[in-house]
Structure 1
Amino acid sequence: MIPEIAVAISGGIDSLVTAYQLKKQYGNNIIGFHFLTGYEQTDTDNFLPPATPSNSLNPLFNPEIPIICDPPTDHPIQHIASQLDIPIKLMDCRNAFKQKIVDYFVRSYQTGETPNPCVLCNQSIKFGILLDAVQNMGIPALATGHYARIIQRNGMLHIYRGVDAIKDQSYFLAFLKPESLPFIRFPLGDLTKNQVIEFGASKKLTPVSAKESQDICFIQNNDYTGFIASQPDFSAEPGPITDTTGKILGFHDGLYQFTIGQRRGINCPAAAPYYVTKIDSASNRLIVGYKEEVYKRECFINTINWFIPPPFSPIKISAQIRYRHQPVDAILFPASDAGSSILRFEDPQAAITPGQAAVCYLNDQVIAGGWIHA
């Protein structure tokens, strides 16, 4: 029998409560999926049998399709399966995660950008590979523990902020395909994080890990530069540090160590602290200035993912230029094609960073997401 719904299980309290609620709603017509990135704290290889058609739900054994199999009895995710009394499958996304997320992350830093791998992971792994696999199995919908909502307006489905303003994760979902929304469920969107924690405690639900991750999942101790420098194909060249007039102030050991707005690590004595204002990868030059020079009023965004018809004239929106950025009033100016626009802020914003996602809202509704280019 084909399950009526699939749920992504990370092992944390959010996905655990999500799965519990869905179990109550769907009974035994539910299946869980836990995808492996290759960067888990445990030895992933010990939890996967040899990748062959005989032990996989991947009937064609296509290397582009992730192997899906039962977890061994000693896999930590079995703790979740036993609490919920639902089957949970392992999905081997290691190759795709390395190519689509980790390689992108390293490449972005080496070319002077500051990437947002969590946005890309939601787009290409959770609601890309995982959702595709679920649909290929004939399962009607995929649920996750995101704090966001999908609401129908005027016959169309749209992503809205979750009711918990602090935990809201709609920013990370701005690059989902609009046509995928009918197949996605966010059961926690109308709850606060505190309500989820209290509900889990009332049901005596225990996650695999009680500690909630706040950093990028594949980097330990938040050591970005150490992780990048440890990659096999890593290379970095020293170069000049200049002010905005081109005057050489010092030298850096590699642009990958810097991001826009950064103060630490510049090591150029001055009457006032220097901040990174631009990273010029073409000339391998780090450009710094004083604090007021970090503020800009507009930026160019491209590769825009629209949830509404692209506007032909400027529209007033609220914009978020990184996850913890307070949304600000802005005007979105259409460019020559629907895939790019100019975002002009009512007030200058600090550290507008190439490589980050800019997400545009009308009230709480996500209308578009684009990548900051300049």
Structure 2
Amino acid sequence: TGDFSRGVLDDFVSEYARGRTPNPCVRCNETVKFGALLERGRRAGFDAVATGHYAVSRFERGSWRLFRSADRAKDQSYVLSTLGPDELAFARFPVGERTKATTRALARSIGLRTADKPDSYDICFVPDGDAGGFVERARGGTTRGDIVDAEGSVVGEHRGLHHYTVGQRRGLGLATHEKRFVLELDASSNRVVVGPGELLARGGFEAERVSWIAGPPAPRTETTVQIRAHGEPVGATIERLEAGAARVRFARPQRGVAPGQLAAFYDGDEVLGGGTIANSLR
């Protein structure tokens, strides 16, 4: 559909071209599942739209709020963290209060053919797992450039920024026995910066397109933040900035802070909101 093409595919390609690592599932939730689909349900006169996300929503303290699933291993509250109270008011998550194993057992008991369907971790429109190849085909080519070390010395050639992400170690094509990781993707100079793993550590990041589910917290808030879909939440201080932005400082340095990825903010099991990582801070 046009919504999927504009909101997900075009964003995916353009973000990679900017040297960022997008999360298409988040954009799909925003524009398709909880955008176009919910709007169609409203126009059709539905009371609500149910999805299979492993998350919990409840009306508490005067507004709709989002919480982690009962199944922590399958919890999907992270990718729903940019939703607002209007979307949550019209959405239902019937499996969020149960584990995936319990859901499968129920599906099996009533003869659903999807009861034992394997979990999918691939991007739905990149079935071969080659995100870089998808972007290259969509853009009609690639622009090669230098791979440099932390001091700026050229150590190799990259195949296009869209083939790399912060924290990547494999597939760099460097003739060295030392472990090198992608530290930064510099779109302005078309360079991939690499170095030892200890240089991946970052003290925080700035986020853009930040939204708060039940209203913004205090201007400066101690909370936890999750920067990967299945990552562990870590202690952090969030400072709200103007124009839907925020500055986040970790309680201890973290590795693999990739611009373009989603950051979700939590207070215990409750999701406070989320935003896109714009840049990392040392």
Please tell me the TM-score bracket, short chain as reference. Answer: over 0.9
Q: Which amino acid aligns with 1:254?
A: G
Task: Point out where structure 1 has 5 or more consecutive residues left out of the alignment.
Answer: 1-93
Aligned partner of 1:176 in structure 2 is 83
**Cα distance in 2 for residues equivalent to 1:110 and 1:224:** 12
- SS of the equivalent of 2:128 reads helix
| Contact 1:278/1:286 (8 A) holds in 2 | yes
Q: Do residues 284 (structure 1) and 216 (structure 2) align?
A: no
**Cα distance in 2 for residues equivalent to 1:100 and 1:261:** 26
Q: Do residues 223 (structure 1) and 130 (structure 2) align?
A: yes
**Cα distance in 1 for residues equivalent to 2:278 and 2:153:** 25
Aligned partner of 1:240 in structure 2 is 146
Note the alpha carbon deviations across 1:161-188, whole angstroms, 9 max, x for none.
1110001111111112322221111111
Note the alpha carbon deviations across 1:280-317, whole angstroms, 9 max, x for none.
10110111111001111100101101123323432111
Runs ≥4 residues deviating over 3 A: none
Aligned partner of 1:144 in structure 2 is 51
Aligned partner of 1:360 in structure 2 is 265
Q: How does 1:1-374 map to 2 (within 5 A)?
A: 94-207=1-114, 210-231=117-138, 233-270=139-176, 272-335=178-241, 337=242, 339-374=244-279
Task: Point out where structure 2 has 5 or more consecutive residues left out of the alignment.
Answer: none
Task: Report the structure number with the largest CA radius of gyration.
Answer: 1
- SS of the equivalent of 2:151 reads coil
Bigger mean CA deviation after superposition, 289-298 or 262-271: 262-271
Q: Which structure is richer in relative contact order (CA contacts within 8 A, separation 6 or more)?
A: 2
**Cα distance in 1 for residues equivalent to 2:206 and 2:81:** 17
| Contact 1:240/1:286 (8 A) holds in 2 | yes
Residue identity (%) = 37
- TM score, norm. by length of structure 1: 0.72
Note the alpha carbon deviations across 1:312-344, whole angstroms, 9 max, x for none.
432111111010111111111222x15111111
**Cα distance in 1 for residues equivalent to 2:129 and 2:79:** 19
Q: How many residues align?
A: 279
Q: Which amino acid aligns with 1:298?
A: G
What root-mean-square deviation, in Å, do the aligned CA atoms of Structure 1 and Structure 2 show? 1.6
Q: CA deviation at 1:242?
A: 1.1
